[in-house]
A = this chain, B = another copy of it.
């Protein structure tokens, strides 16, 4: 049993570190929580979610990349690009328990730790600290969503591009340009123009 716990914690080390960056919690309690996360792998091109499906799973990415997008009037609208260290789900559909209108598509072979809503509730019931982790994660989700909407409204195209380049330079190597463009609220041509203009400066 001790061996199992050590093994379990070792495997989930990146997830554990991320949780510990939000809260202080003792080893026994965090190991109680970690046991509910199941390691899963998905191949590039797989969909974790499509429109009209329900989702009751939260994922933590250990390796890989996932695109969260909708298609409206034939146009792809990328809402988020999730990479290592991100917790993700279709949070709106997950909370409201309604069918999603979005896609979660695996852009790179993916290793995740997945937890069901039922098991998440067990962790929240078990520990005040995990409940706090839930509160702070939800707070983070609110802030990210609010900031993203504000930036799309208030920053120029070029400012948004430069900001993404600074904060998440890896995305430009990993994700097709048309998805980066959509995430920035641009057309692929618009993105090309900005890159060309900046390369000439």
Contact = CB atoms under 8 A, between A and B. Distances in A.
A76 interface: no
A92 B132 contact: no
A141 interface: yes
Q: Summarize A's interface: helix, strand, loop or mixed.
A: helix
Interface in A119-172: 124, 128, 131-132, 134-135, 138-139, 141-143, 145-147, 149-150, 153-154
A96 interface: yes
Interface residues on A, range: 20 to 34
A161 to B, nearest CB: 21
Contact of A91 (B72, B131, B146): B146
A95 interface: yes
Given A91-B142, A124-B132, A138-B135, A149 B147 contact: no
A184 to B, nearest CB: 17
Contacts of A150: 92
Contacts of A146: 91-92, 145
B142 A138 contact: yes
Copy count, this protein chain: 2
Given A72-B154, A131-B128, A131-B131, A95 B139 contact: yes
A142 B91 CA distance: 9
Nearest to A133: B135
Interface string A85-116: 00000011001100000000000000000000
**Top 5 nearest A-B pairs by Cβ distance?**
A135-B135, A138-B138, A128-B128, A142-B142, A131-B131
30 contacts: A72-B153, A91-B142, A91-B146, A92-B142, A92-B143, A92-B146, A92-B150, A95-B139, A95-B143, A96-B143, A124-B132, A124-B135, A128-B128, A128-B131, A131-B132, A131-B135, A132-B135, A134-B135, A135-B135, A135-B138, A138-B138, A138-B139, A138-B142, A141-B142, A142-B142, A142-B145, A145-B145, A145-B146, A145-B149, A149-B149
